[in-house]
Amino acid sequence: MPVEHPDPLSFKAWLRSEALAAGFALAGFAPCDPFVDEQDRLQAWFQEGRGTLLPYLDPATLHDPRALWPKARTALVGYFPYARPEAVPGATPGSLKLSRYLWGPDYHMLLKPRLNRLLEAAQVRWPDLEGRVCVDTAPLLERQLATRAGLGWQGKHTLLIAGKGGSWGFLGVLLLSVELQPDEPLLNEHCGTCTACLEACPTGALDAFRLDPARCLTTYTIETEAEPPAKVAGALASSRWAAGCDACQEVCPWNRAPIWGNPTLWGGPSPLHTLPAEALPRAAAQWRKLTRRTALRRVRDRHWRTTLGRILGSQ
Ligand code: B12
Ligand code: SF4
Ligand code: SF4
C-alpha cells in the first residue's frame, strides 16, 4: 500500500507551530540548494587566512548543505532568544564581562533535544521522513540559511538580526528530506549607514559584513588557548570581556527592544558575574562547581585561568 502523506502546506504549518511551541521565537523554511553567491566570498575569506584558528570550518563543503547531508531538501531554521534585560555583563562594579550567551545552560543541550523531539513527532505524521538536527557544530552556514528562510539578515557584525527582534538569539536547524514550500527570503540588509558595531569592536575585528576570527575576543576566550596578537591581548585586558564578547551587539540599534529569552530558562547572575575580578575562582574544582549546568562549562578551567592571567596579569 502506498504511504499516505499529509498535505505539505498543512504539514509545514504544523512544523512551524510545533517549533514555536518548543521555545523558538521565530521559525522559517529554506531550500537546501548550494549558496552559489557565497562561493567567491567564502573562497576569499579562507584565502585571507580567516579560518586558520577554526580548523573545523571546511571551505570545500561549507557553501552546500547537501555536502553535509545529501538528502537535505528543506531547512527549518529556528531563532531561540537567550538574553535577559537584567543580565548585563560587567554591571557589578569591579566584575569582569561574561557574554550573555554563557549565562544560562549550554544552548546545544537545549536546542538539540527540542529539534530531535520535533523530528520524531514529524516522522509520525510523514512516515518516510528523514532529518538531521544541526545546532552550531555542523559545517553549515546557519545565518545564511536563516536569511534565506526569511528570519532576518546578516548585519555588518555578521550575526543574524531578526529585525526588531534583534540578534540575541541562537540558531537551530532541522534539515528535512522532504521539499516544502520555502518562506520569502529577506533580500536586503537593513543596517543602512550605521557602523556602530565596527566602531565598538575592541579589537578592530570587523569590517562591514566580514569578521576576522584571528582578532575576535570570542576566539581567544572560548575557542582556542592560542596566544593572541599583542593588540588583541591589550584589548582583552582593557575591555575585560573574559568569556565571549557582546560589544558589537550591545551597540546595535536593532537590539533596543529585542525578543527576550524565557526567564525560567535563562536565570539571573551567578557569583561569576558579580564577584570582583580579583576574587574570581582560579582553582579547577571551584570553576567546575560554579559553572555546573551552564554554558561556561565549555571553557576548560586551564583556559579560564589563562584568560584571567591575560586580563589581570598573572599574579
Ligand atoms: C565559527 C563561529 C564563530 C567564530 C567566527 C564567527 C564568524 N562570524 O564567522 C567566532 C569564534 C569568532 C564566533 C563568535 C561568535 N559567535 Co559564533 N559561530 C561560529 C559558527 C560555528 C560558524 C560560522 C561560520 O561558518 N563562519 C564562516 C564565515 C565564512 O561565515 P560569515 O562570517 O557568514 O562570512 C560570510 C560573510 O562575511 C559574507 N560576506 C563577505 N563580504 C560580504 C559583503 C556583503 C555586502 C555581505 C552582505 C556579505 C559578505 O561572505 C562570507 C562567506 O559567506 C556558527 C554556527 C554555524 N554553524 O553557522 C556560530 C554562530 C554564528 N555564532 C553565534 C554566536 C552567538 C557568536 C557570538 C555572539 C558569541 C559571543 N557572544 O561571544 C560571537 C559573535 C562574533 C561575531 N560578530 O560574529 C551564533 C549567532 C546567532 C546569530 N544571531 O547570528 C551562531 C549562529 C551559533 C548558533 N547556532 O546560534 N563564532
Ligand atoms: S564579539 Fe567582540 S571582538 Fe568579536 S567582533 Fe564582536 S565586538 Fe569584536
Ligand atoms: S550596529 Fe549598525 S551596522 Fe552593526 S549590525 Fe547593527 S545596524 Fe548593522
Decide if pLDDT at 75 tops 70: yes
CA of 155 to the centre of ligand 3 (A): 6
CA-161 nearest atom, ligand 1: 83
Q: Atom 1, ligand 2: which residue's CA is nearest?
A: 245
Q: Which cell goes with 49? A: 587566512
Mean pLDDT, all residues of the chain: 95
pLDDT at 11: 98
pLDDT at 177: 98
CA of 158 to the centre of ligand 1 (A): 6
64 assigned to active site: no
Helices (H) and strands (E) in the chain, counts: 12, 10
Residue 315's pLDDT band, with cuts at 50, 70 and 90, is: very low
Decide if pLDDT at 184 tops 90: yes
C-alpha to C-alpha distance for 82 and 267, rounded to whole angstroms: 10
φ, ψ of residue 285 in degrees (nearest 5):
-65, -40
Residue 193's pLDDT band, with cuts at 50, 70 and 90, is: very high
Please list, residue by residue across 198-237, b when 16 or more beta carbons sit within 10 angstroms of its beta carbon and e when fewer do: bebbbbebbeeeebbbbbbbbbbbbbeeeebeeebeebbe
pLDDT at 6: 87
Q: Ligand 3 pocket test: pick from 154, 191, 246, 251 the residue with the most ligand atoms within 8 Å of its Cβ.
A: 191
Ligand index nearest the alpha carbon of residue 75: 1
C-alpha to C-alpha distance for 83 and 261, rounded to whole angstroms: 5
